[in-house]
Amino acid sequence: MAYHRHMEHKRYADAAPFEFGDFVVRELSGDAFSVGSIAEIMVPMGAERTSRVSEKTHRMYVVVTGDIEFRVAGETFRAGPGDTVHIASGEEYGFHNGGYEHGRLLLVRVPGPTLPERY
């Protein structure tokens, strides 16, 4: 894998939001997408990411706002602002916003996904 050795800067305003199921997502990564990526995910109250397996990438979710219930490898737990959840490649996971406010997550993926796989 070739690593990019140049600085990249992507403005938040240039990261156009798009709908993905119940969520609104902004891909915040620059052109070095294959090295790693970071995305903002807005999680409305009641929204759910149904269970799936993270087949190609390690994922780290950082809860910015909200109270999100995660299910990872058969374990269920709640995560709040400042909490980080690591999901290894091959683990089954999902999450649900059962709280009383909209949630906001940052998703870090290493290595970054190859399109068309999305979130």
Domain assignment present for 58: yes
Instruction: Inform me whether the pLDDT recorded for 119 exceeds 50.
Output: no
Instruction: Tell me the CATH number at 91.
Output: 2.60.120.10
**From CA 93, how far away is CA 9, in angstroms rounded?**
31
Domain carrying residue 75: 14-110
The total domain count for the chain is: 1
Amino acid at 70: F
Please say whether the beta carbons of 44 and 100 come within 8 A: no
More confident call, 56 vs 119: 56
Question: Does 2 map to a domain?
Answer: no
In angstroms, the CA 36 to CA 42 distance is 20
The answer to the question of residue 5 being in a domain is no
The larger pLDDT score, comparing residue 52 to residue 118, is at 52
Neighbours of 42 (CB within 10 A): 20
- Give the model's pLDDT for residue 113: 55
More confident position, 79 or 115: 79
Residue 115 lies in a domain: no
Alpha carbon of residue 93 to chain centroid: 12
Predicted confidence at residue 55, as pLDDT, reads 79
Residue 42 lies in a domain: yes
- CB-based contact 49:42 (threshold 8 Å): no
Q: How confident is the model at residue 95 (pLDDT cuts 50, 70, 90)?
A: very high
Decide if pLDDT at 4 tops 70.
no
